[in-house]
Amino acid sequence: MNSVLRIFAAGIFVASPAITATCESLASLSMPGITVTSAGAVSSPVEFCRVKAVAKPVPDAGILIEIWLPTAASWNGKLLGTGNGGYSSSLGIPAMQAAVKNGYAVTGSDTGHSGGDLEFGQGHPEKIADWAWRAIHVMTDTAKLTVRNYYGKFPQKAYFSGCSTGGQQALSEAQRFPNDYDGIVAGDPGNDRIHLNIGFLWSWVVTHDNGAEILPASKLPMITRAVVARCDAVDRLKDGLIDDPRRCHFDPGTLLCKSGDNAECLTAPQVAAVRKVYAGAVNPRTHKQIFPGWIPGSESGWGGYFVGHPEPARVDFWRLWLFGDLKWDPSTFDFDHDVEWADAKLAETSALNADLRPFRANRGKLILYQGWADPVVPPEDTLQYFDAMQRAAGPGGTTDFARLFMVPGMGHCQGGPGPSIFDPLDALDAWVTKGTAPERIVAAHRTAGKVDRTRPLCPYPQVARRKGTGDIDDAASFACVAPPR
């Protein structure tokens, strides 16, 4: 391990004396492997000190880090780390703005590269490591030290919050660096990154014939409408939402065209393709499941990743990071041997360790959430990881330190017909600082900017059920109860 990284990993800091500083003086702050490039006051959305730095924990690295510091009078004494999306270098500016407005010192990074494509990792394994796990850890240590030098003390509590790739980063922190954060929010994580990309490949292959489209994107909304019509009332409440799609036994064969192809039916090859997407990637030799399929109710979003595209999403993950061949044909992927090779060569791109007992021993708290209608990360992938966490935690499971909230009708991180606007950070803060475990989190749905429905999200496996005859658009009408058998 590089000597600079060893300093960070050990939590040892070398810097100027711990006294309060002016914003501009932070430009001369000295930290191992870190160069502060600027520090200046910003007055929007609130007054804060904006610090920019570049970290080089290893020679082939250059991680851009920003730390936003509210005034001492408005600081709540806490630090919030923010995550990224996809393979993008973009900082989560809206999340950072909201956090600093609420009194948090907040930090974000570009994960060590510029742009959203995967070319940065070709021939640069250390940059892949930065993206996968190292950048967030270095960012966190850099931010904590900057906070100490600005306010004269370290943050009393540190939290991390992210969704999608940010959710994977969140779980990676809990797994690899259990002392970095007191509380973590991980949304729609896709932390089985290799197999997620295999899932995209599989779903593209089964919806195409020698590259030609079998299932047109124009038919996807029709399939979702049929699924909702079939499964909406499974929970005995007709509200346009599928409470738990696993209880929805939808057969796309019911949409089989009776007399010629048209927009409101599926041809036999299309029915077969949809069934294969639902079934998920399978090893053709052992018949072992490689990755869960996309769940009924998510079809409208398939067009973003594997339907209606000449190639599957994230094809460069394979071309640039695994095979090193810009002309590699995705239809040639071997769902047996190539899976084993990818699992061995690119292991650090995933965050799969379900044993979070070190994080628990540090009194860490974890809130996971997952959209039931997610067309990017299959909900069953998150559920399988959570089940593995339960087993690894031992008797009693994870109830005392980690809870999962499934969100009916929510797509990937947000949106969809279900209430998907909620604040897990407030719930996390109450759990960490007051010991108040989240028994429910109220989510809202907006139309034209106006809230038109609220609904409680319940800690899995509990589900929200209506109490008597109350308003189905009011969270107060629902209680969290044990799931039906």
How confident is the model over 462-479, as pLDDT tens digits?
A: 999 999 999 999 999 999
Task: Kindly tell me the sign of the dihedral angle through the C-alpha atoms of 386, 389, 391, 393.
Answer: negative
Question: 374 catalytic, yes or no?
Answer: yes
Q: How far apart are CA 449 and CA 126, in angstroms?
A: 44
pLDDT of res. 211: 87
- Which is catalytic among the residues 113, 195, 309, 412? 412
pLDDT of res. 309: 93
Q: Residue 429 CB: number of other CB atoms within 10 A? A: 21
Q: How far apart are CA 338 and CA 332, in angstroms?
A: 10
Q: What are the helix (H) ranges across 207-248?
A: 220-231
Strand extents, DSSP E, 100-148: 105-109
Q: How far apart are CA 470 and CA 398, in angstroms?
A: 32
Q: Check whether 10 has a pLDDT greater than 50.
A: no
Q: How far apart are CA 410 and CA 406, in angstroms?
A: 9
Task: Kindly tell me the sign of the dihedral angle through the C-alpha atoms of 260, 264, 268, 273.
Answer: positive
Half-sphere exposure of 44 toward its Cβ, with a 13 Å CA cutoff?
0
Q: How far apart are CA 448 and CA 451, in angstroms?
A: 9
Q: Strands 450-457, 441-447: parallel, antiparallel or unpaired by DSSP?
A: antiparallel
Closest CA to 243 of 379, 366, 368, 367: 379
How confident is the model over 433-459, as pLDDT tens digits?
A: 999 999 999 999 999 999 999 999 999
pLDDT of res. 21: 85
Q: Check whether 12 has a pLDDT greater than 70.
A: no
Angle, CA of 334, 339 and 340, to the nearest 5°: 120
Q: Check whether 166 has a pLDDT greater than 80.
A: yes
Q: Check whether 2 has a pLDDT greater than 60.
A: no
CB-based burial label for 323 (10 Å; 0-12, 13-18, 19+):
middle
Task: Kindly tell me the sign of the dihedral angle through the C-alpha atoms of 319, 325, 328, 334.
Answer: negative
How confident is the model over 347-393, as pLDDT tens digits?
A: 999 999 999 999 999 999 999 999 999 999 999 999 999 999 999 99
Report the length, in residues, of the chain.
485
> DSSP assignment, residue 133?
I
* 135 close to 112: Cβ distance less than 8 angstroms: yes
pLDDT of res. 380: 98
Amino acid 44 reads: S
Q: How far apart are CA 168 and CA 195, in angstroms?
A: 13
Amino acid 300 reads: S
- In this prediction, residue 9 has a pLDDT band, given cuts at 50, 70 and 90, of very low
pLDDT of res. 89: 96
How confident is the model over 223-247, as pLDDT tens digits?
A: 999 999 999 999 999 999 999 999 9
Write out the two tokens for 413.
């991180």
Q: Check whether 334 has a pLDDT greater than 90.
A: yes
Closest CA to 209 of 280, 265, 268: 268
pLDDT of res. 45: 82
Average pLDDT of the chain is: 94
Task: Kindly tell me the sign of the dihedral angle through the C-alpha atoms of 166, 168, 174, 180.
Answer: negative
Closest CA to 202 of 109, 335, 324: 335
- In this prediction, residue 485 has a pLDDT band, given cuts at 50, 70 and 90, of confident
pLDDT of res. 15: 43
Question: 164 catalytic, yes or no?
Answer: yes
pLDDT of res. 5: 40
Amino acid 456 reads: P
- Which is catalytic among the residues 374, 381, 429, 445? 374
Q: Check whether 188 has a pLDDT greater than 50.
A: yes
Question: 336 catalytic, yes or no?
Answer: no
How confident is the model over 51-106, as pLDDT tens digits?
A: 999 999 999 999 999 999 999 999 999 999 999 999 999 999 999 999 999 999 99
How confident is the model over 206-222, as pLDDT tens digits?
A: 999 988 999 999 999 99
* 138 close to 53: Cβ distance less than 8 angstroms: no
pTM above 0.85, yes or no: yes
Q: Check whether 1 has a pLDDT greater than 80.
A: no
Q: Check whether 317 has a pLDDT greater than 50.
A: yes
How confident is the model over 104-133, as pLDDT tens digits?
A: 999 999 999 999 999 999 999 999 999 999
Q: Which residues contact 270 (CB under 8 A, 6 or more apart)?
A: 214, 215, 219, 252
CA dihedral 232, 237, 242, 247 (to 10 degrees): -90
- Which is catalytic among the residues 164, 172, 298, 350? 164
Report the helix count and the strand count for the chain, using DSSP H and E.
13, 17
CB-based burial label for 144 (10 Å; 0-12, 13-18, 19+):
buried
